[in-house]
């Protein structure tokens, strides 16, 4: 073998590790999928039954996990083989458990990326800059969310505008930085067990019609979520909203019948760019805080190929189904995004590492939170 390797081209030798992974020879034919809810478990069971009925090679087993971290543990110790996870959880799975990815979602034919996180402001705010946000007011969809917390706060830390210090107290640092904000859920016991999080992080929140549930981490707070953060800016209660690039389009043209949305027009808003400039709402591809990677299927390293081959067989039959069971639809289960995001167009194979899927810019944002301890 050594003599043969000396005679082979270098490029071919680099491919040997990939060529040596023979999925077909792996004796294990069952893929155990970790699910997190009754609805997701039911869709998993339905997929398993339909796959058997269509004589798809391999067997799908559904394993119930307590939460995402429990699924990571189950995959690591072999009581589960795979689970679909968000970008932040993919990072923790790789960093803390040495897990990898077998497949990733592709949305609308765009491989890898799910959406952009943007900073949206009123066009009339002429003196705003993302490089000078100190004492400004901000609107966030929710505490500990990718869009409302991880990406914007990670950006502010990485640009040295916010320093969390040795205490690694992000809520306190954010409260000291912004003049006032609406960060729904920041005062909830699980996020503020000692009741010490700054009060100004709830000052741009308005609660419900009876002034109750102010800063609640649910729809009773009218500034909660994507639409709520946009409303916060539209009603002049915040200078900037951190939202998905699709948020404004999802709430215009009669899609949202609330009065604040009916009065809102595209020309009323603009994007703030990381370099301190501004741009139009349709320029999110060049003016965004982060491109958030799409969900991907977490597995043990030795199962990358085997799980992908099984998923490939499943999507060949159920991926574009117009009738019967549909792999990328959660209709009829009472919840959305079960097993995979409903927006998934197809699954693509992930040959590289989990960090290559996340990308350098998003990985850098997550690294800003390492003092909190991912593991």
% pLDDT > 70, the chain: 91
Whether residue 22 is contained in a domain is answered as no
Q: Mark which of 238, 264, 291 sits at the end of a domain.
A: 291
Question: Would you say residue 20 has pLDDT above 60?
Answer: no
Q: Are residues 238 and 225 in the same domain?
A: yes
Q: Are residues 176 and 242 in the same domain?
A: yes
Q: Are residues 132 and 248 in the same domain?
A: yes
Q: Are residues 205 and 280 in the same domain?
A: yes
Length of the chain: 375
Q: Specify the residue for token string 């966030």.
A: 140
Question: Would you say residue 269 has pLDDT above 50?
Answer: yes
pLDDT tier for residue 252 given thresholds of 50, 70 and 90:
confident
Whether residue 5 is contained in a domain is answered as no
pLDDT tens for each residue of 292-337: 999 999 999 999 999 999 999 999 999 987 789 999 999 999 999 9
Question: Would you say residue 229 has pLDDT above 70?
Answer: yes
Q: Are residues 59 and 117 in the same domain?
A: no
Q: Are residues 264 and 309 in the same domain?
A: no
Question: Would you say residue 9 has pLDDT above 70?
Answer: no
Q: Are residues 245 and 97 in the same domain?
A: no
pLDDT tier for residue 16 given thresholds of 50, 70 and 90:
very low
The pLDDT of 203-221, averaged and rounded, is 95
pLDDT tier for residue 174 given thresholds of 50, 70 and 90:
very high
Q: Are residues 226 and 86 in the same domain?
A: no
pLDDT tens for each residue of 145-160: 999 999 999 999 999 9
Question: Would you say residue 110 has pLDDT above 90?
Answer: no
The pLDDT of 341-368, averaged and rounded, is 92
Q: Are residues 101 and 226 in the same domain?
A: no
pLDDT tens for each residue of 58-71: 999 999 999 999 99
% pLDDT > 90, the chain: 78
Q: Are residues 164 and 228 in the same domain?
A: yes
| pLDDT (0 to 100) of residue 109 | 58
Cα–Cα distance for residue pair 235/5, rounded to 1 Å: 68
Domain carrying residue 100: 28-108+294-357
Q: Which of 25-29, 141-145, 194-198, 241-245 has the lowest mean pLDDT?
A: 25-29
| pLDDT (0 to 100) of residue 8 | 41
The pLDDT of 207-220, averaged and rounded, is 95
Q: Which of 15-19, 154-158, 212-216, 253-257 has the lowest mean pLDDT?
A: 15-19
Beta strand ranges found along 93-252 (DSSP E):
100-107, 110-111, 113-122, 137-139, 180-182, 240-244
What domain count does the chain have? 2
Q: Mark which of 269, 291, 313 sits at the end of a domain.
A: 291
pTM over 0.85: no
Q: Are residues 154 and 187 in the same domain?
A: yes
Q: Which of 3-12, 36-45, 222-231 has the lowest mean pLDDT?
A: 3-12
The pLDDT of 326-351, averaged and rounded, is 93
Question: Would you say residue 87 has pLDDT above 70?
Answer: yes
- DSSP secondary structure of 290-337: EEEEPPEEEE-GGGHHHHHHHHHHHHHHHTT-SSS--TT--TTSSSSS
| pLDDT (0 to 100) of residue 126 | 82
Question: Would you say residue 13 has pLDDT above 50?
Answer: no
Residue scoring higher pLDDT (19 or 214): 214
Cα–Cα distance for residue pair 174/214, rounded to 1 Å: 19
Whether residue 97 is contained in a domain is answered as yes
Whether residue 6 is contained in a domain is answered as no
Q: Mean pLDDT over all residues of the chain? A: 90
Q: Are residues 184 and 232 in the same domain?
A: yes
Q: Which of 35-39, 236-240, 245-249 has the lowest mean pLDDT?
A: 245-249
pLDDT tier for residue 15 given thresholds of 50, 70 and 90:
very low
| pLDDT (0 to 100) of residue 338 | 96
Whether residue 49 is contained in a domain is answered as yes
The pLDDT of 181-189, averaged and rounded, is 96
Whether residue 83 is contained in a domain is answered as yes
Whether residue 333 is contained in a domain is answered as yes
Question: Would you say residue 38 has pLDDT above 50?
Answer: yes
Most confident of 13-17, 22-26, 260-264, 305-309: 305-309
pLDDT tier for residue 25 given thresholds of 50, 70 and 90:
low
Q: CATH code at 252?
A: 3.40.190.10
Q: Mark which of 251, 276, 291 sits at the end of a domain.
A: 291
| pLDDT (0 to 100) of residue 111 | 59
Whether residue 35 is contained in a domain is answered as yes
The torsion region of residue 258 among left (phi > 0), alpha (psi -120 to 50) and beta comes to beta
């Amino acid at each position: 073998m050594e003599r043969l390797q000396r005679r082979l081209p270098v490029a071919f030798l680099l491919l040997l590790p990939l060529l040596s992974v023979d999925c077909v020879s792996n004796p294990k034919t069952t893929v155990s999928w970790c699910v997190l809810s009754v609805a997701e478990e039911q869709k998993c069971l339905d997929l398993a039954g339909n796959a058997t009925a269509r004589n798809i090679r391999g067997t799908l087993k559904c394993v119930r996990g307590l939460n995402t971290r429990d699924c990571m543990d189950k995959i690591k110790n072999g009581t589960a083989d795979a689970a679909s996870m968000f970008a932040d959880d993919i990072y923790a799975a790789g960093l803390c458990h040495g897990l990898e990815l077998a497949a990733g979602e592709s949305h609308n034919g765009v491989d890898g990326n799910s959406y952009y996180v943007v900073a949206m402001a009123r066009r009339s705010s002429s003196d705003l800059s993302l490089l000078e946000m100190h004492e400004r007011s901000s609107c966030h969809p929710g505490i500990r969310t990718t869009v409302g917390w991880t990406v914007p706060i990670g950006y502010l830390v990485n640009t040295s505008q916010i320093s969390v210090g040795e205490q690694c107290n992000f809520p306190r640092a954010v409260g000291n930085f912004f003049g006032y904000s609406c960060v729904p859920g920041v005062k909830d016991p699980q996020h503020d067990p000692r009741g010490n999080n700054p009060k100004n992080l709830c000052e741009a929140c308005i609660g419900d019609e009876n002034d109750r549930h102010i800063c609640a981490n649910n729809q009773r707070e009218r500034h909660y979520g994507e639409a709520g953060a946009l409303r916060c800016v539209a009603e002049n209660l915040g200078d900037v909203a951190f939202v998905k690039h699709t948020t404004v389009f999802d709430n215009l043209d009669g899609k949202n019948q609330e009065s604040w949305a009916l009065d809102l027009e595209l020309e009323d808003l603009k994007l703030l760019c990381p370099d301190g400039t501004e741009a139009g709402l349709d320029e999110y591809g060049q003016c965004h805080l982060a491109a958030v990677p799409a969900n991907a299927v977490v597995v043990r390293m030795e199962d990358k190929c085997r799980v992908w081959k099984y998923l490939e067989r499943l999507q060949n039959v159920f991926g574009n189904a117009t009738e019967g069971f549909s792999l990328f639809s959660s209709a009829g289960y009472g919840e959305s995004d079960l097993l995979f995001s409903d927006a998934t167009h197809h699954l693509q194979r992930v040959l590289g590492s989990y960090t290559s899927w996340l990308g350098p810019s998003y990985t850098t944002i997550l690294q800003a939170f390492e003092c909190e301890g991912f593991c």
